[in-house]
Amino acid sequence: MSGHSKWATTKHKKAVIDARRGKLFAKLIKNVEVAARLGGGDPAGNPTLYDAIQKAKKSSVPNDNIDRAVKRGSGADGTGVDYETVMYEAYGPAGVALLIECLTDNRNRSATEVRVAVTRNGGTMADVGSTARLFQRKGVVIVAKEQGETTVDEDALLEATLEAGPEDVNDLGEVFEVVSEPNDTVDVRKAVQAAGLDYESAEVSFVPDFTQPLDPADAEKLEKLVDALDDCDDVQNVFTNGDFPDSED
C-alpha cells in the first residue's frame, strides 16, 4: 500500500489546492445531486448523500448551492439532469494504469474529452478491463491528524474503528486514510464520529493491487496528465497505481 499512500498524499494535497481555487465546486455539487437522486433527499436516511454533503461543505461549497443540488436530485424542484457513471481506462507514463471515473449526461462528450486529455499528455487509451482489473473497490475515510487541540494518532484511530472492520490505516502526512470494504465505509465513518473525531471525506474509491515505481520525471508527467483529466467537467475521479518517489510526498 506504500505506493498508494504516496499517490493518495499527493492527491489529497492537490484536492485542497483545487478546492481553494473553486475548481471542485461543480463536481462536488454533481455528487450531491446524484446521491439525492439515487437515495432520496434526506441525508439522515441516505448516508451517501450525507457524506457527499459533508465533503462539499468541507471544500467550502455554499450551503445554498448544496441545498439546490439536493432539491434538483430528489426532484423537489421539478428539474435536474440524469447523470450516469462511466469508467474509462488508460495508460500513463512508464506504463502506469489509470482508471478514470466520469459522471455525465453525455457519453460521447465525456469520451472525447477524456481521450483528448490522455493523448495530448503522453498517455494512451486502454481496452475495457485492461486496467480496471488492477484495482479493487474500497471504502476510504480520510481523518485529519490535527483536530482543534487534539492530535489523533494511528493506534487511537485504529482502536476507534476496529469494530467497523478497517483493513488498513495509512499515514498520509497531515491525514490518515482508513481503508475498508466498500460496504463498511459508512460504519467506519460513524465509528470515527462516535469517537468524537471529525472526518474529511468518506467514499468508495479504487485502490491498486500493486504499484508502478516512477522516477521524478515520470511522476511530473503523470501529475500533468491527471491535472488535464481533472480539468474535464465530467471527470469526477482519477485513480492510478503510480508509485511516486519519496520527494513527491
pLDDT digits (tens, 9 = 90+) for 199-247: 988 999 998 998 888 899 999 999 899 989 988 989 999 999 988 776 5
Mean pLDDT, range 29-41, rounded to an integer: 91
Q: Are residues 104 and 196 in the same domain?
A: no
Alpha carbon distance 10, 18 (integer Å): 12
pLDDT at 172: 85
* In a shared domain, residues 127 and 213: yes
Residue 44's pLDDT is 92
Helical segments of the chain, H only: 2-20, 25-39, 47-58, 63-74, 107-119, 154-161, 185-194, 216-230
- Note whether 204 and 147 are same-domain residues: yes
Question: Hey, what's the cell of 170?
Answer: 495509512
155 contacts: CB under 8 Å, gap ≥ 6: none
Q: Are residues 91 and 213 in the same domain?
A: yes
- At 22, list the grid cell: 473553486
CATH number for 194: 3.30.70.980
Mapping DSSP to helix (H, G, I), strand (E, B) and coil, where does residue 101 land?
Answer: strand
pLDDT number for residue 2: 38
**Number of structural domains, the chain?**
3
- Collapse the DSSP code of 23 into the 3-class scheme (helix H, G, I; strand E, B; otherwise coil) and give the result: coil
Domain check: are 6 and 66 in the same one? yes
pLDDT digits (tens, 9 = 90+) for 123-138: 999 999 999 999 999 9
Domain that holds residue 182: 136-208
Do 189 and 243 fall within a single domain? no
My answer on whether 24 and 62 are in the same domain is yes
pTM of the predicted model as reported, rounded to 2 decimal places: 0.81
Among residues 29, 46, 74, which one ends one of the domains? 74
